[in-house]
Amino acid sequence: MSMPIAFNAHASRLGQPRPESMTDMTRPNLTIDPARLWSDLMETARFGGTPRGGIRRLALSEEDRQVRDWFRATCEGLGCTVTIDDVGTMFARRAGLDNSLPPIAIGSHLDTQPTGGRFDGVLGVLAGIEVLRTMVAAGYVTTAPIEVINWTNEEGSRFAPAMLASGVFAGVFTPDDALGRLDREGIAFGTALDSIGYRGAVTHRAHKLGAMFELHIEQGPILEAEDKTIGIVTGVQGARWHEVTVTGQDAHTGATPMHLRKDALLGAARVVAGLNALAARPEHSGTNASVGLLEVSPNSRNTVPGSVFFCVDLRHPLDARIDALEVDFRALLAEALTPLGLTWEEACIWSSPAVQFDSRLIDCVRHGAARHRLPTRELVSGAGHDAAYIARVAPTTMIFVPCAGGVSHNESESATLEDCGAGTQVLLEAVIDCDQRMNGV
């Protein structure tokens, strides 16, 4: 297999000089093995592998148990101690020189969507293992301990909502809240956890993290389109969901003249089109506004719809910009619906504040990429990740690598060995850099 990544040990001296030159000179030149990482990706893709080349590995399923067993055995084989918390999150810890320091974590998730791909989440966990392997092979020991973390139920496809266990770690949800969540068959999260033997002790998540890095595929098309290898992720955009019910009057389509109708679907359609136009205005540039769910009642060919329910999804990297769009959205409802004789109810039912990642950690990623002269681009994540919750309780950042066509949550999801390897090398550099900056040499 080809390895076109230029692992130039002297890149930092030839390229951007680093402010911590003393630190840099004492740093080992460790190089990850992209082929070994790839082999892990392909090996673990067997657990829940689908005929179309994807993975179906729902949280706390038998397939999840299999990959968890593999993760535990592999990390223990590298000398790690693996602990499991009360919501099933796995922490593989490699001792550092000073184990009183909070660990530097590398975390993501091993669960997938029902028709998921081989990289979403898995890459971030297996890259952590590759970082450990590289350090072990070189006999390199960090000052702080290193923890590779597999967060339970990131996808939220079996147990809603998403990012449940990292949310518990961050104090967003209580453990009981998570344990009581039901899947569509009525099986509780706690029951599923017990049935695969992965309920651990509360105390195992009682520790603080010194930092967390998450490597992930971009799940969007920007890096590929701009031919960049590394996405330096500065944050996660804010998201808000609104539910709207528009009420008019059911009426016969043949017997009711146009000017006497109260057509709820016509009103909803004007709102959908109006929202799209709002997002295109200069003052709302960079905003994503979408209607992805719409239910028409009574949904009959020859009845003017008397009621429509729809959901609005608003996103922007700055919460204040979502606030501004919300004001205009509410005005739009009145403008679109009142002239049609319609009434409406509207409520914001979910709000996820924008996240700004830690500038020191972002700098570690930037330096790691510069050290290997990899083309980079700064990005704000459009999707939610475990890192978004962990950022509330520990310095956190993310690294993105391109995925083909920006496609994810799809069995055809694809990323290259070279890009996965480059992202993992930058992850390794960033972890070492972070350890040295935070904990001295």
Residues that bind Zn ion (CB under 5 A): 120-121
The nearer residue to Zn ion, 267 or 384, going by C-beta atoms, is: 384
Look at residues 8, 7, 9 and name the one whose alpha carbon lies nearest to residue 28: 9
The nearer residue to Zn ion, 279 or 420, going by C-beta atoms, is: 420
Q: Which is nearer to Zn ion, 130 or 386 (CB)?
A: 386
Residue 311: how many other CB atoms lie within 10 Å: 16
**In the bound complex, what is the minimum distance in angstroms from residue 115's beta carbon to Zn ion?**
14
- Rounded CA-CA distance 150/90 in Å is 5
Minimum distance between the CB of residue 127 and Zn ion, rounded to whole angstroms? 13
Output the CA angle 70-196-390, nearest 5 degrees.
70
The residue type of 64 is D
- Pick 121 or 145: Cβ nearer Zn ion: 121
CB of 124 to Zn ion, least distance (A): 7
Residue 411 near residue 54 (C-beta atoms within 8 A)? yes
CB of 214 to Zn ion, least distance (A): 9
Tokens for 285, please give them. Answer: 């540039």
3-state secondary structure of 120: coil
Contacts of the segment 10-14: beta carbons below 8 A, 24+ positions apart: 11/370, 11/371, 11/372, 11/373, 12/367, 12/370, 12/371
CA distance 401 to 79: 29
Closest distance between Zn ion and the C-beta of residue 165, in Å? 13
Which residue is closest to Zn ion by CB? 121
- Cβ-based nearer residue to Zn ion, 121 or 274: 121
Closest distance of CB 264 from Zn ion, Å: 37
Provide the minimum distance between the beta carbon of 162 and Zn ion in the complex, in angstroms, as a whole number: 9
Distances (CA, A) of 246 to 253, 258, 259, 341: 19, 18, 18, 10
Between 159 and 344, CB nearer to Zn ion? 159
Cβ nearer to Zn ion, comparing 121 with 210? 121
Instruction: Tell whether the torsion through CA atoms of 205, 151, 357 and 376 is positive or negative.
Output: positive
